[in-house]
A = this chain, B = another copy of it.
Amino acid sequence: MSELTGLTGKATAAKELDAADELAGLRARFVLDHGVYLDGNSLGALPAAVPDRVADVVRRQWGELRIRSWDESGWWTAPERIGDRIAPLVGAAPGQIVVGDSTSVNVFKALVGAVRIAADGDGGGGRDEILVDATTFPTDGYIAGSAARLTGRTLRPVAPGEVPAALSERTAAVLLNHVDYRTGRLHDLPSLTAAVHAAGAVAVWDLCHSAGALPVGLDEHGVDLAVGCTYKYLNGGPGSPAYLYVRKGLQDRFDSPLPGWNSHAEPFGMREVYEPARGALRGRVGTPDILSMLALEAALEVWDGVPVEAVRAKSLALTDFFLECVGAYVPEGRVESLTPVRHEERGSQVALRCSDAGDVMKRLIERGIVGDFRHPDVLRFGFTPLYVGFTEVERAARVLAEVLA
Contact = CB atoms under 8 A, between A and B. Distances in A.
Contacts of A61: 238
A274 B145 contact: yes
A375 B268 CA distance: 7
A239 B274 contact: no
Given A258-B105, A261-B104, A285-B104, A274 B43 contact: no
Interface in A233-266: 237-242, 256-262, 264
A295 interface: yes
Contact of A139 (B50, B75, B260, B291): B260
Given A102-B260, A105-B105, A291 B67 contact: no
B286 A139 contact: yes
Given A145-B274, A285-B105, A51 B45 contact: no
Contact of A138 (B103, B264, B375): B264
A292 interface: yes
A293 interface: yes
A103 B54 contact: no
A220 to B, nearest CB: 28
A290 B239 contact: yes
Report copies per complex. 2
A262 B151 CA distance: 23
Nearest to A231: B287
A337 interface: no
A55 interface: yes
A240 to B, nearest CB: 7
A47 to B, nearest CB: 9
A372 interface: yes
A31 B64 CA distance: 8
A288 B289 CA distance: 12
Contacts of A103: 286-287
A42 B69 CA distance: 12
A322 interface: no
Given A55-B55, A69-B238, A105-B260, 12 more contacts: A43-B62, A45-B63, A101-B102, A104-B258, A105-B105, A105-B286, A134-B272, A138-B264, A138-B271, A139-B286, A146-B257, A289-B292
10 contacts: A51-B63, A58-B237, A75-B239, A101-B105, A103-B286, A105-B285, A138-B271, A142-B260, A238-B289, A270-B374
Q: Which 7 A-B pairs have the closest CB atoms?
A: A102-B286, A104-B286, A104-B260, A238-B290, A46-B63, A139-B261, A239-B289
Interface of A: 31, 33, 37, 39, 42-43, 45-46, 50-51, 54-55, 58-59, 61-64, 66-70, 75, 101-105, 108, 112, 134, 137-139, 141-143, 145-146, 150-151, 157, 182, 229, 231, 237-242, 256-262, 264, 268-272, 274, 285-293, 295, 365, 370, 372, 374-375
